[in-house]
Amino acid sequence: MVHLYYDSKTGNVQRFIQKVAQITGWQVHKIEDGLKVCEAGHLVTYTTKLGCVPDNTRLFMDRHADMIYSVTSSGNRNWGKNFGLAANKVSEDYDVPLAMKFELSGTMEDIHQFIDIIKHQYNDSKRGSKKLDIA
């Protein structure tokens, strides 16, 4: 079973995750106080303040980075080079492969691409390559 851990502020990431879960049946876990991480999985977060990692995401990764196979981030293309930059920063800071980035709550194409990446590159793997093969 695939486990997805997500952080969402405006609801964009939550909408993306809910669509993924509806299609796949994967387990989703919202990052919040008291979340116990018992299974390794994948992180999906958002980018805030024009390129920053959300505080909640950083705290989560400080505690559970060894349980995370990949990181994906939402963003806004209006931010130019800062689009989805949280994923790059999490990848670099915690040595976790970057799976992909998507805009706002993602398109159906983004959702299917994410599912494909997780199924074929990172599911049940030992973190895979740190290289940005997809993003």
pLDDT at site 130: 42
- Tell me, what's the pLDDT at 6? 97
Longest alpha-carbon distance in the chain: 37
Domain that holds residue 21: 3-122
The arithmetic mean of pLDDT across residues 50-56, rounded, is 91
Q: The pTM is what?
A: 0.88
Bridge partner residues of 43 (DSSP) = 5, 71
The verdict on residue 51 lying in a domain is: yes
Report residue 50's pLDDT band, with 50, 70 and 90 as the boundaries. Answer: confident
Mean pLDDT of 23-51: 94
Q: Does residue 84 belong to any structural domain of this protein?
A: yes
Residue 78 domain flag: yes
The pLDDT value recorded for residue 88 is 96
Assign residue 10 the CATH number of its domain. Answer: 3.40.50.360
Contact by Cβ (8 Å): 72, 16: no
Confirm whether 112 is domain-assigned.
yes
Answer yes or no: is 101 within a domain. Answer: yes
Q: Quote the number of domains for the chain.
A: 1
Instruction: Find out whether 77 and 50 touch, Cβ atoms under 8 Å.
Output: no
Mean pLDDT of 81-101: 95
Q: Is residue 129 part of a domain?
A: no
